[in-house]
Amino acid sequence: MIIGVCGSPRRKATEHVLRAALDMLAKQGFETEFFTVRGKEIGFCRHCDYCLRNKTCAVDDDMHQLYPLLKDARGIIIATPVYNSGISAQTKAVMDRCRALVAADRNCFRYKVGMGIAVGGDRVGGQELAIQQILTFYILNGVIPVSGGAFGANLGATFWSKDTLEGVKEDEEGFRSLRKTIKKFTQSLEELETNRRK
Ligand SMILES: Cc1cc2nc3c(=O)[nH]c(=O)nc-3n(C[C@H](O)[C@H](O)[C@H](O)COP(=O)(O)O)c2cc1C
């Protein structure tokens, strides 16, 4: 299963492109799940270290809906709106709260494949910085990070929304970067599966 995590508090551009990504995967036969922070209560990590002792998070909120999905997934897509040239605070809260999953099983994220999507209102508004944060989260937790490669999707899928849903729908270059990234993402998932069977 592939889990798509939307870090936008709105049903606008970021959710639209993440759903498009999951549709592409579903058409290729992948099982997908969509999770959004929109309308959810997901608090900050409090660094109470409860998870280190008890292997679960003490904060009783909607993050507990996402934990089993992240655990079961073979692939992870984190999609974030660009806020101040980085990821949204909601996306960061999700990442920090993943400490509880790693506390329960330090290999929890190992050999999963991950990609990032960043949607900014400006054409050059910090999309790559935001994706870099997503890829860094993957690297430090053992997720294999993929991008779409050179000539258009260097770090992953980057979109220019012009702050509107209509704007992102018109961003053909953004969708090209998404298709390239999805291609590399599925290739990596398939290669890992083949190696697992050997
Ligand atoms: C607090 C805040 C900070 C933002 N900072 C940036 C920014 O640094 N660069 C940028 O390109 N867009 C910035 N934006 C615009 C959003 O990235 C853009 O509107 C995006 O489409 C929002 O995603 P959504 O449509 O899924 O809500 C910011 C928006 C907010 C609310």
What is the arithmetic mean of pLDDT over 24-45? 98
Residue 11, pLDDT score:
98
Q: What is the pLDDT of residues 90-126, one digit of tens each?
A: 999 999 999 999 999 999 999 999 999 999 999 999 9
Q: What is the mean pLDDT of the chain?
A: 97
- The answer to whether the CB of 174 is under 6 A from ligand 1 is no
Q: Where are the domains of the chain?
A: 2-197
Of 10, 91, 163, 171, the residue with max ligand 1 atoms within 8 A of its CB, to mutate for a pocket test, comes to 163
Instruction: Read off the pLDDT band of 137 (50, 70, 90).
Output: very high
pLDDT band at 131 (very low <50, low <70, confident <90, very high): very high
pLDDT (0 to 100) of residue 196: 86
Residue 126 CA: which ligand 1 atom is closest? 9
Compute the distance from residue 149 Cα to the ligand 1 centre, in Å: 25
Give the CATH number of domain 2-197; options: 3.40.50.1580, 3.40.50.720, 3.40.50.150, 3.40.50.360: 3.40.50.360
Residue 138: how many other CB atoms lie within 10 Å:
21
pLDDT for the residue 198: 85
Q: CA nearest 33: which of 72, 63, 80? A: 72
Asked if pLDDT for residue 194 goes beyond 90, the answer is yes
Question: Which of 79, 174, 175 has the alpha carbon at shortest distance from 131?
Answer: 79
**What count of residues does the chain have?**
198
Do the Cβ atoms of 118 and 159 come closer than 8 Å? yes
